[in-house]
Amino acid sequence: MTKIIKFGGSSLANSAQYQKVIDIIEADASRQVIVVSAPGKRFDDDIKVTDLLIKYANQTIQNQDSSEVLAAIIARYQEIATAFSVPDDQFQIIPTTLTELPDQKYPNNEYLMAAFKAHGEKLNAELMAMVLNQLGINSRFVDPGEAGITVSDNPNSATVLPETYQNLGHFGYGDEKLIFPGFFGITKAGNIATFARGGSDITGSIVARGLNIPMYENFTDVSAIYAANPKIVKNPMPIKKMTYREMRELSYAGFSVFNDEAIIPAIEGQITINVRNTNEPEAPGTLIVPEGAFQSEHEITGVASSGHFSALYLHRYLLNKEVGFTFKLLQILYKYDISYEHMPSGIDDLTIIFEDSQLTDEKMRAVGKEIHESLHPDRLDWIRDYSIIMVVGEGMVNQTNALSKSIDPLATDGIKVNMINQGASQISIMLGTRKADANRAVLDIYNQFFNSQED
């Protein structure tokens, strides 16, 4: 059974990491399709090649001298090429392409930015093919244009178009290793457009679905997805297996190991995702599977928190009797291009929860003013100090006490819960707390369900 394997930036940050990747490729002959990110950070304060390319693009746009950043980018690839004795005449394509990037034609600066960024992955995939061939492993670089990975016209936050799957369905190959660059596709007009940051995972899912490959190994720098953030809970339990929708719910609240958007093509293709660690390849990692293939072992699978939210609280007597209140409210949000996350409501009250990044002071003032004018609330408060805690698990569907077990330890610990949302999704409970209480809440809930001895 063929497998697709994807390596993140830290797995390809230098020649030492490249060697680990090569060992992983060689350890299992079924690992035929390989997706690579751009070289990432070698140490904490290091700069990813993608970020160097963004700087290079900005300097180009502003007509500034970019020789320093260009040299820094070339050096990252050169170190790897030298370590694996890639012949100079082969390697030369990389510095040449990078040097000539500013001379290419782009429809506008956003496309210029996208093309510069995408070259982090593109050149790394070319380099990987050179290195593998040099080592006697028959390999081929696959350009997303050649494979037909077709994306929307949003240069820096593209989404995949359906024809991609037909194109990939016709993509012919033999038994050589195929090296795909992650992170970007080609628009119908023939321009490079990238996914949002961290988007190489998306390429892996798309290619797996398009080539009909049921197993997608995603190599990163953690040995598993854990039941809670290891920065909050000491030695949390690794999750052996979870469902797509559990992953969706947990990544919503900050589990960032596997890219959120990358789940969708995997669901469509019913592909098993195996998150694994390049630095500890023997560890089994975490499997993300369809619901049908899942039997939960624990009451909950994980607990996460995210502080990227704000809320708007509205009070008005007899709100429940008033026809059109929510309609008018949503129209105001629509006018200001603000999407909302949740809207729990009571008899006279309503809270709307937003993703924080959308709310500028100016927008809040304007929205508040319009709400006052057209809805006349008795009270309107913006709550910036808002965190969401997500308690997630397929196992909760058949339980009666998951809610009380989640809330009880918070009450004991004096943590005020100002919103509870359980209903639409039976596999999660969402709690709102103050930001300052969020980590403690996660720890308390984790201890409650996993009976940990942590303090």
Interacting residues toward ligand ASP by CB under 6 A: 9, 37-38, 48, 50, 120, 182-183, 197-200
Q: Which amino acid is at 190?
A: G
Q: Which amino acid is at 388?
A: I
Q: 240-243 long-range contacts, Cβ below 8 Å, gap at least 24?
A: 240/284, 240/286, 240/287, 240/297, 241/286, 241/287, 241/288, 241/289, 241/294, 241/297, 242/286, 242/287, 242/288, 242/289, 242/294, 242/301, 242/302, 243/288, 243/289, 243/290, 243/291, 243/294, 243/394, 243/427
How many Cα atoms sit within 13 Å of 422 on the Cβ side?
20
- CB neighbour list of residue 94: distance below 8 Å, 6 or more residues apart: 74, 77, 78, 81, 123, 126, 127
- Complex with ligand ASP: residue 261 or 370, whichever CB lies closer: 261
- Complex with ligand ASP: residue 140 or 197, whichever CB lies closer: 197
The least CB distance from residue 401 to ligand ASP, in Å, is 40
Closest residue to ligand ASP using C-beta atoms = 200
The least CB distance from residue 389 to ligand ASP, in Å, is 27
The least CB distance from residue 181 to ligand ASP, in Å, is 10
Q: How far is CA 41 from CA 38, 44, 77, 120, 231, in A?
A: 10, 7, 13, 13, 20
The least CB distance from residue 6 to ligand ASP, in Å, is 9
Q: Residue 393 has which token pair? A: 């698990």
The least CB distance from residue 10 to ligand ASP, in Å, is 9
- Complex with ligand ASP: residue 35 or 242, whichever CB lies closer: 35
- Complex with ligand ASP: residue 134 or 277, whichever CB lies closer: 277
- Complex with ligand ASP: residue 157 or 422, whichever CB lies closer: 157
The least CB distance from residue 390 to ligand ASP, in Å, is 24
- Complex with ligand ASP: residue 195 or 325, whichever CB lies closer: 195
Q: Which amino acid is at 278?
A: T
